[in-house]
C-alpha cells in the first residue's frame, strides 16, 4: 500500500451506473487515502437522491457536491445533474468543486470529460480514473488529455457486468485501459492504487 496522499479517484458512469455504483462504492473503506469525485449522467433533481442512497449503504461518505466545497479523503462528491463538475486548486493548495455551465458535451450534462480535463491543472500527482457502464464515449477524450500531464491509472468495467458496454469500450479501444474488470476487482484496484490512511 502506498502512503503518499496526493491522489484522487475520479469516476464516470451513465446507463446502468446507479446499480453499478451501489455495488462498487460500498466495497471501499472509510479510511481510503484519497478524495473521490463522480460524474453520473442524470438530469437535475435526481443526483441528490442517488448520493444519499450511496451514503446510506457505504462506509465512505457520499454527498452531492456543492459549488466551492473542498475535497476530503474518504469522501465521494457527486456532480449535480445538469451542471458540469470541475476540480479547482485553491491558493492554499487544497482542491474544491467548481461548477460550470457550458453546453451539453457528448450529449450529456454533467460530462465526465470536463471533470478529467479540470484535473490537468490540479495539484494531484496521481489520478485513478474509473469508467463504468454507459452509452457513448464520455471520459475517453478527457482521460487522454489528462494522461499527457499526470500519472494516470485507468480502470474500466468489463462487458459482462455492464448494462451498456459503451464508455468502458471506448476507453479500451483508445488504448487507455488493457481490458475491463468486474466491480469487486475495480474496488480492489482502487484501494491498491490509493491506499488507506
Show which residues are catalytic: 14, 41, 138
| Residue-by-residue DSSP string for 87-135 | EEE-TTS-EEEEEE-PPPBTTBSS-HHHHHHHGGGSS-SEEEEEE-SBS
Q: Give yes or no for a contact between 22 and 172, defined as CB atoms under 8 angstroms apart.
A: no
- Rounded to 10 degrees, the C-alpha dihedral 112/114/117/123 comes to -90
Amino acid at each position: 500500500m502506498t502512503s503518499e496522499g496526493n491522489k484522487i479517484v475520479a469516476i464516470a458512469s451513465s446507463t446502468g451506473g446507479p446499480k453499478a455504483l451501489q455495488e462498487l462504492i460500498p466495497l471501499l473503506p472509510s479510511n481510503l487515502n484519497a478524495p473521490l469525485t463522480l460524474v453520473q449522467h442524470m438530469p437535475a433533481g435526481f443526483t441528490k437522491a442517488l448520493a444519499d442512497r450511496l451514503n446510506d449503504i457505504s462506509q465512505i461518505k457520499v454527498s452531492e457536491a456543492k459549488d466551492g466545497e473542498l475535497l476530503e479523503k474518504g469522501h465521494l462528491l457527486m456532480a449535480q445533474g445538469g451542471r458540469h463538475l470541475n476540480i479547482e486548486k485553491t491558493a492554499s493548495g487544497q482542491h474544491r468543486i467548481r461548477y460550470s455551465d457550458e453546453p451539453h458535451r457528448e450529449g450529456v450534462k454533467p460530462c465526465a470529460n470536463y471533470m478529467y480535463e479540470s484535473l490537468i491543472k490540479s495539484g494531484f500527482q496521481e489520478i485513478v480514473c474509473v469508467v463504468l457502464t454507459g452509452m457513448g464515449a464520455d471520459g475517453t477524450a478527457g482521460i487522454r488529455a489528462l494522461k499527457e500531464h499526470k500519472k494516470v491509472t485507468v480502470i474500466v468495467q468489463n462487458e459482462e457486468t455492464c448494462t451498456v458496454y459503451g464508455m468502458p469500450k471506448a476507453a479500451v479501444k483508445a488504448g487507455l485501459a488493457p481490458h475491463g474488470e468486474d466491480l469487486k476487482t475495480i474496488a480492489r484496484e482502487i484501494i491498491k492504487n490509493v491506499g488507506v490512511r
